[in-house]
Amino acid sequence: MPDIEVLDLIALGQSVPPDADRPITSDIKGDVLVIRLEPGRTYPPEKHDHATETITALRGRFTIEAAGKSHPVAQGQCCRIPPGLEHRWASDSDAVVLVHFGTPAR
């Protein structure tokens, strides 16, 4: 019988270089990864046509900019970005985030 794997996502995120993706899982329902954001950096615009992107701040804070609005996300909060919406990140601190590409639970 396989064992349960417990991951410390904050420690895992802090162990990767800034801006590097660390995949956690991937299956037909979507991809999950952890990213460490570089403080004070604004990232180029991006959009994902295939799935909703849910981003959770595990540590620190960041801002998502989309459609002319800024949406701050603090530790313990998450945001959902619908498919096809162009957006960009701005990191306010040395943040660790969990990103899920897929269909959100209803």
| CATH code for the domain of 29 | 2.60.120.10
Q: Is residue 3 part of a domain?
A: no
Which of 22, 38, 43, 30 lies closest to 80 in space, CA to CA?
30
Spell out a b/e string for 74-100, using b for 16 or more CB atoms within 10 Å of the CB, else e.
ebeeebebeeebebebebbbbbbbbbb
Name the band, by pLDDT with cuts 50, 70 and 90, for residue 21.
confident
Kindly report the pTM of this predicted structure: 0.83
Mean pLDDT to the nearest integer, 24-45: 87
**28, pLDDT greater than 80:** no
User: Residue 42 is part of which domain span?
Assistant: 9-102
Number of domains in the chain: 1
58: closest CA among 22, 84, 26?
22
Q: Say if 2 falls within a structural domain.
A: no
pLDDT for residue 106: 60
What integer is the mean pLDDT of 52-68? 94
What is the distance of C-alpha 96 from the center of its chain?
A: 8
